[in-house]
Amino acid sequence: MLGLALAGPAVVAPTYRLAIADPGRGVVIQAQESFSYGATRIRLAGGREDLVDNVPGRVLFVAVLVVALVAVVGWAWRRGPGATLVGVVALAVATTRVVDSAVERLGRSSDIDRYALTGLDVRSYTPAAGAAENAAAVVLVLALAGVVVLSVRGLGPRPGDDGPVSGIGVADAADTSDASAVTRPRRATDDGLQPPGRHLGGPEVGLRAEEPDR
């Protein structure tokens, strides 16, 4: 859930900026902003702005994050084969999507190399949304690995599944016999002791209270 939350700002904010400036005039010729879902906004020196939107890409990006969030909550709330499968698949898709965007952004150093011989000042920036998405990629990879491990352990055999459901095992029988040996009353044959109350047996003595002498 933390990884999905960190990827949220990439839905509305750019994750990559590229600024091209003319050192001689000291002005920015072009500023380019890129979004994770494929949209691009270009601002030129004269105030002109071009936006190449990608509505299907944005909808798909939001859908992947929302479905992954619901699937993870369902997996954590109620474990089971169905919830486990849906949670792992949805989280894997979201992780792949975020990691792919982060790797593509980190590999855009070629954009700067294209202007190396032009004499222009070219700089790239990673906005806050891009930094959050980079962190989301790391967190989601770790979370996916943890979910897979927990799911495999949860679907595996549990201790005692292959043993008898009811009854007493060998070790339990031994413990029970020891407990009964301690708690049962001793009989006459145990260590030569008489049974309880034996000392009270025998003929009656017939004692009675005598009147005091006058």
The predicted pLDDT at position 100 comes to: 93
Tell me how far apart the 2 most distant CA atoms of the chain are, in Å: 144
36: in domain: yes
Question: At 136, which CATH number?
Answer: 1.20.140.150
User: Strand, helix or coil at 175?
Assistant: helix
209: in domain: no
114: in domain: yes
Domain range holding 107?
2-155
E strand or H helix at 29 = strand 27-34
Number of compact structural domains in the chain: 1
> Which one-letter amino acid corresponds to residue 51?
L
34: in domain: yes
135: in domain: yes
Q: Give average pLDDT by consecutive 10-residue segment, the chain, 214 residues.
A: 93 91 83 91 84 92 94 81 85 94 81 73 89 95 90 59 46 47 49 55 55 52
Number of neighbours of residue 22 by Cβ within 10 angstroms = 15
Rg over CA atoms, the chain = 40
Nearest alpha-carbon partner for 13 in 51, 39, 31: 39
* Nearest 10 degrees: Cα torsion 61, 64, 68, 69: 50
